Amino acid sequence: MTGPSLYVHIPFCETKCPYCDFNSFAVLGRDVDGYLDALRREMDARGVPGDPPTIFIGGGTPTVVTPEQLARYLGDITARLRPDPAREFTVEANPGSLTREKVAVLKEHGVNRVSLGAQSLVDRHLATLGRVHRAAEVEEAYRMVREAGIPRVNLDFIYGVPGMTLAEWAATLETAISWRPDHLSCYALIFEPGTEFHARRSAGRLNPIAEDRELAMFRYTERRLRRAGILRYEISNFARRGEECRHNLVYWRNGEYAGFGAGAFSYLQGRRTGNERHLGRYAEAVRGRGDAIATEERLEGEAAARETIVLGLRTSEGVDVEAVERRYGVDLGGLRGTIGRMRGLGLVAPDGPLRLARRGWRVADEVAAAFL
Amino acid sequence: MRLEHIRNFCIIAHVDHGKSTLADRLLLRTGAVEQRVFRDQLLDSMDIERERGITIKASAVRMMWQGKQINLIDTPGHVDFSYEVSRALHACEGALLLVDASQGVEAQTVANAYLAIEAGLDVIPAINKVELPGAQPELVIDQLSTGLGLDTTGILRVSGKTGLGVDDVLKAVIDRVRPPEGDPAAPTRALIYDAAYDDYRGVVVYVRVFDGTLRRGMKVQFLSNLSEWEIAEVGVFRPEMEKVDVLSAGEVGYFVANLKTLEHVKVGDTIAPAKERDVVPVPGFKDPKPLVFCGIYPASSQDFDDLRKAIEKLHLNDASFTFHPESSEALGFGFRCGFLGLLHMEIVQQRLERHANVDIIQTAPNVTYEVVTTDGETRRIERPAELPDPAHIKEFREPIVRVSIIAPPEAIGPVMALVTDRRGTFVKQDYLGPSRTILVCDLPLSEMVFDFHDLMKSATRGYGTMDYEMKGFFPADLVRLRILVAADEVDALSVICHREVAPRRGREILRALQKTIPRQLFEIALQAAIGGKIIARESITALRKNVTAKCYGGDVTRKRKLLEKQKEGKKRMRQVGGVEIPQEAFLSVLGSRREEKKRK
């Protein structure tokens, strides 16, 4: 892999889900075309990497827009790239928002991977999560993508939803497995600050499920998917061998990426920048100065090395500490004690690269914090 | 000023009987402060005092009234601060004994009144808060005359709140307190009754001049160490510090010399002219006897020096606590400090944190014990780690205090039950009028020190008050209760207690630890043991789950910061045998930690 990956953010959704803390807005009444203008302007001004190893269009719901708008921004992106059919090109989609026509547009523009926000296959849980689609629509969308000949499909699920039982979660997994997907993302529900769920929990109007039940789901997921040949390669991500999301691996390997759009992040030459999240301010900034950078962080030397370890620990491949030392030109000998302690507790693998052992996954944050 | 025009007096009272409010009234009335700069409880210069509404540090104010110079020395009312009271008493000739008209005589009214009588002061009884609907002045008069044997003719009736009777107080001070004696022409003799540290002026020494004068430029010596200093400034409190030309016999004020270090200034010491060898020291007061001890450690070890400086500075201002360096396996280097009581301990701790800007870890308080070894040596034991091997202990003694509790007669039953439960013994019971009974009993200090006051308060529905004095050390069946965390003894958590209560105390401590030590990556065994015998055990289950489900490009910075915060929290914990123990755990050993509110 050479050069930075490419990320483009489409910040629109049909409705805002109550657990979601991503930069997204209900699409109704929004000036989508105006946003796409600004996006194009930002790509022009900053320059898009011409041969990114991976592309990821995220949101929001990138497919919530009209087929014309979809074709327009996909065209804007692909026009700036050297064509390469082997390049991983992912677009996020929601089951309810997908039509045959839109799938055809994706296919036409070389999209070879669709990540479907299924979230659950139980209508009751979909309702709790504030999702607008029904379980039946998930399968429909999945088939539609498959039939269109888009070769790779991921399904996103959320477990640990208030009121969810282990049996319900297991049933959801069974159904998903029966569709023979090549990739599954299974996230424990997070009550992110600033979300409606967070406020409802604080007010005592939403009860999180018991920690033990969530832990049982966490463990069950890995065991069941492994039997189906879908292996964990990151805390919440599972794939058949070779079907891992290469774009997300760039993040966890602390690789470079250029992000475009409102609230998008870039990590280029050791500098991590974040764009304006607000649509109006984003467009205005792009019009004024070409970029819309609102936050910036630069980590160097040991801090960058430690961050790389923390990110790498999320993956099953782990992180080669010596390679990290070479990459940042630092001596991480000071971590030896921590590594020894974590090995002693059986939380990281006894040898080889630094990676979580079977018992380490459920307390991954504790392990990671020790390396910061 | 000529001696016959000077009056030095203090106000003594049970806590909350309105002493500070009356003091404020006097300052206003005499014009010592103007209405516009007036704040409630002006004399209480420390924030903590104002927050708690109690007076901790004695401070002095000069007022002028009808051609007389009246020096008021404010005193603390709480039982923990009787040492400060006695310091103030030595600088005065008279005391206004203030009693709340509805509460009546309480334990510290009695204790303070006796202190004042013993110090030879002219005592003027006064009934305060007479404006309250529940006021029963006749009952108070009866308690004062029959209970305390005071002459109540011409008793003052005042209200600090409304200002009623304030002029009578000033008149009584002038008429009934004798003027100071002393010879302004004799060689200088002055008593250091307090000191404070000022960032700009260095040490500010509070003095009462008995003979001669103190003035700027004068060379003086401290008799206890013969060090010599040139006086840079003398002044009085009005109530802010105000420079004057001279402080002469009978007067109260302060002086500043070039005192940058704290080592030479000793409260109770006498000041005399330099080179003068024939000065008879002013009788000082007894060294304070700390009754409660705890370890104070910096939360992070690099702050040790800052903590030491802060403690030294505070000690200058509060000579009643003691300190010396100690080290603990669990906590590193710190200090063992002795206090007059629990409230005193808390206040010192808060002052340290506030003024030193050092996070501190305080270990559970304990009392001093005495051990007679098999070689016949008697040793003071200030912490469990100092105990010799049990085989070398011939006799183990604990401190016993004589406690006087004043309560309504119908509450004596419940109080007696409490006393018995706390291994106490009955001494005597007296009547102090129809609604007040004094119960005297002996109680192990260790049983009194933690929550006895609270329990006594609730047993008497809030009407009971208490005071205590040290009686001595007496043999008891004591053991060292060892606390083990993950099989390692944590010295800072171990305690000395009576063998009978050890299992209960052990369980309490372990449960408290269970609540304060966060779950970690492995299960933690908690054990309480006497010698090698485990008498209680609990465990903290391993952390089950701590994993962030999502982390992508846009989240990296934020998620890393969350992890950093998590890690930062751990830095403030102490690592003992691989277990991270938060600061609260060291205090939680107290179990039912008394809330300061209740004590006021």
> B141 to chain A, minimum CA–CA distance in Å?
56
Is A263 an 8 Å CB contact of chain B?
yes
d(CA B345, CA B356): 16
Nearest to A272 among B548, B550, B557 (CB): B557
- A187 interaction partners in chain B (CB closer than 8 Å): 549-550
Asked if the model's pLDDT at residue B543 lies above 50, the reply is yes
% of chain B surpassing 70 pLDDT: 89
In this complex, do A212 and B544 lie within 8 Å of one another by their Cβ atoms?
A: yes
The predicted pLDDT at position B84 comes to 61
Question: What is the H or E stretch that residue A177 is in?
Answer: helix A166-178
Nearest to B544 among A215, A252, A297 (CB): A215
- The answer to whether A61 and A99 are in contact (CB under 8 A) is no
In this complex, do A211 and B570 lie within 8 Å of one another by their Cβ atoms?
A: no
What is the average per-residue pLDDT within B231-238? 89
> B288 to chain A, minimum CA–CA distance in Å?
48
In this complex, do A366 and B549 lie within 8 Å of one another by their Cβ atoms?
A: no
- B567 interaction partners in chain A (CB closer than 8 Å): 369-370, 372
φ/ψ of A211, rounded to 5, equals -55, -40
Tokens representing A281 are 């301010």
**Confidence band of B491 (pLDDT split at 50, 70, 90):** confident
Tokens representing A200 are 């409802």
The predicted pLDDT at position B298 comes to 86
- Is residue A288 classed exposed, middle or buried when 0-12, 13-18 and 19+ CB atoms within 10 A define those classes? exposed
d(CA A253, CA A315): 9
Is A357 an 8 Å CB contact of chain B?
no
For B569, nearest residue in chain A (alpha carbons): A369
Q: Which residues contact A331 (CB under 8 A, 6 or more apart)?
A: A325
> A342 to chain B, minimum CA–CA distance in Å?
9
Interface list for chain B against chain A, based on CB atoms closer than 8 Å: 521-522, 543-554, 556-557, 560, 563-564, 566-567, 570, 578
Would you mind telling me the total number of residues written for chain A in this entry? 372
- The answer to whether B445 and B291 are in contact (CB under 8 A) is yes
Tell me the one-letter amino acid at A44: D
Asked if the model's pLDDT at residue A31 lies above 70, the reply is yes
In this complex, do B547 and A218 lie within 8 Å of one another by their Cβ atoms?
A: yes
Q: Classify domain A5-252 at the CATH topology level.
A: pyruvate-formate lyase- activating enzyme (3.80.30)
Nearest to A362 among B545, B570, B578 (CB): B545
> B525 to chain A, minimum CA–CA distance in Å?
16
Who has greater pLDDT, A229 or B75?
A229
- A52 interaction partners in chain B (CB closer than 8 Å): none
Is A372 an 8 Å CB contact of chain B?
yes
CA A340 to centroid of chain Cα atoms: 32
Query: Whose structure tokens read 């010599």?
Result: B228
d(CA B27, CA B240): 12
Classify A164 as helix, strand or coil: coil
Is A216 an 8 Å CB contact of chain B?
no
- The answer to whether B329 and B577 are in contact (CB under 8 A) is no
DSSP state of A315: B
What is the average per-residue pLDDT within A241-269? 96
**Confidence band of B34 (pLDDT split at 50, 70, 90):** low
The predicted pLDDT at position B47 comes to 56
DSSP state of B23: H
Who has greater pLDDT, B160 or B52?
B160
Asked if the model's pLDDT at residue A296 lies above 70, the reply is yes
What is the average per-residue pLDDT within B265-284? 82
For A255, nearest residue in chain B (alpha carbons): B553
The predicted pLDDT at position B600 comes to 30
In this complex, do B556 and A272 lie within 8 Å of one another by their Cβ atoms?
A: yes
Is A214 an 8 Å CB contact of chain B?
yes
Classify B315 as helix, strand or coil: helix
In this complex, do A235 and B560 lie within 8 Å of one another by their Cβ atoms?
A: no
**Confidence band of B48 (pLDDT split at 50, 70, 90):** low
Is A236 an 8 Å CB contact of chain B?
yes
For B522, nearest residue in chain A (alpha carbons): A345
Q: What is the pTM of this model?
A: 0.62
- A366 interaction partners in chain B (CB closer than 8 Å): 521, 543, 546, 566
CB pairs < 8 Å spanning A and B: 92
Tell me the one-letter amino acid at B338: G
Who has greater pLDDT, B144 or A311?
A311
Mean pLDDT (chain A) is 95
Is A192 an 8 Å CB contact of chain B?
no
In this complex, do A310 and B554 lie within 8 Å of one another by their Cβ atoms?
A: no
d(CA A115, CA A246): 13
The predicted pLDDT at position A243 comes to 97
The predicted pLDDT at position B46 comes to 54
Smallest CA-to-CA distance from B362 within B300, B292, B297 is with B297
In this complex, do A251 and B550 lie within 8 Å of one another by their Cβ atoms?
A: no
Asked if the model's pLDDT at residue B102 lies above 50, the reply is yes
The predicted pLDDT at position B568 comes to 79
In this complex, do A372 and B567 lie within 8 Å of one another by their Cβ atoms?
A: yes
In this complex, do B549 and A314 lie within 8 Å of one another by their Cβ atoms?
A: no
Asked if the model's pLDDT at residue A108 lies above 50, the reply is yes
Asked if the model's pLDDT at residue B176 lies above 90, the reply is yes
- B546 interaction partners in chain A (CB closer than 8 Å): 362-366
Tokens representing A368 are 């990671």
The predicted pLDDT at position B144 comes to 87
Residues A221, A145, A28, CA angle at the centre, nearest 5°? Answer: 95
Most confident listed range (A244-253, B74-83, B158-167, B554-563): A244-253
Asked if the model's pLDDT at residue B43 lies above 90, the reply is no
Smallest CA-to-CA distance from B60 within B9, B14, B17 is with B9
In this complex, do A365 and B554 lie within 8 Å of one another by their Cβ atoms?
A: no
Nearest to A218 among B545, B548, B578 (CB): B545
- The answer to whether B392 and B373 are in contact (CB under 8 A) is yes
The predicted pLDDT at position A26 comes to 93
The predicted pLDDT at position B591 comes to 44
**Confidence band of B452 (pLDDT split at 50, 70, 90):** confident
Nearest to A190 among B549, B560, B563 (CB): B549
% of chain A surpassing 70 pLDDT: 100
| CA end-to-end span of chain B | 40
In this complex, do A347 and B560 lie within 8 Å of one another by their Cβ atoms?
A: no
The predicted pLDDT at position B572 comes to 67
- The answer to whether B20 and B55 are in contact (CB under 8 A) is yes
In this complex, do B556 and A251 lie within 8 Å of one another by their Cβ atoms?
A: yes
Is A370 an 8 Å CB contact of chain B?
yes
The predicted pLDDT at position B41 comes to 55
The predicted pLDDT at position B239 comes to 75
Nearest to A259 among B543, B547, B553 (CB): B553
The predicted pLDDT at position B592 comes to 35
In this complex, do B548 and A310 lie within 8 Å of one another by their Cβ atoms?
A: no
CA B281 to centroid of chain Cα atoms: 27
For B542, nearest residue in chain A (alpha carbons): A363
- B557 interaction partners in chain A (CB closer than 8 Å): 265, 272, 274, 295, 297
> A158 to chain B, minimum CA–CA distance in Å?
10
For A299, nearest residue in chain B (alpha carbons): B557
Most confident listed range (B137-151, B346-360, B406-420): B406-420
Using one digit for the tens of pLDDT, what is the confidence trace for A150-205? 999 999 999 999 999 999 999 999 999 999 999 999 999 999 999 999 999 999 99
Nearest to A314 among B543, B551, B566 (CB): B551
The full set of domain ranges for chain A reads 5-252, 316-369
In this complex, do B563 and A297 lie within 8 Å of one another by their Cβ atoms?
A: no
DSSP state of A348: B
What is the complex's ipTM, to 2 decimals?
Answer: 0.89
Mean pLDDT (chain B) is 83
> B553 to chain A, minimum CA–CA distance in Å?
6
Asked if the model's pLDDT at residue B79 lies above 80, the reply is no
Nearest to A364 among B547, B556, B567 (CB): B547
**Confidence band of B117 (pLDDT split at 50, 70, 90):** confident
Asked if the model's pLDDT at residue B320 lies above 80, the reply is no
Asked if the model's pLDDT at residue B132 lies above 70, the reply is yes
Is A238 an 8 Å CB contact of chain B?
no
Q: Which of A235, A309, A372 is the best substitution to test chain B (most B C-beta atoms within 10 A)?
A: A372
The CA distances from residue A318 to A2, A171, A356, B455, B507, in Å, are: 21, 31, 7, 58, 44
> B425 to chain A, minimum CA–CA distance in Å?
51
DSSP state of B595: P
**Confidence band of B90 (pLDDT split at 50, 70, 90):** confident
Question: What is the H or E stretch that residue B74 is in?
Answer: strand B68-74
Helix axis angle, B556-571 to A301-312, nearest 10°? 100
* Bridge partner residues of B328 (DSSP): B332
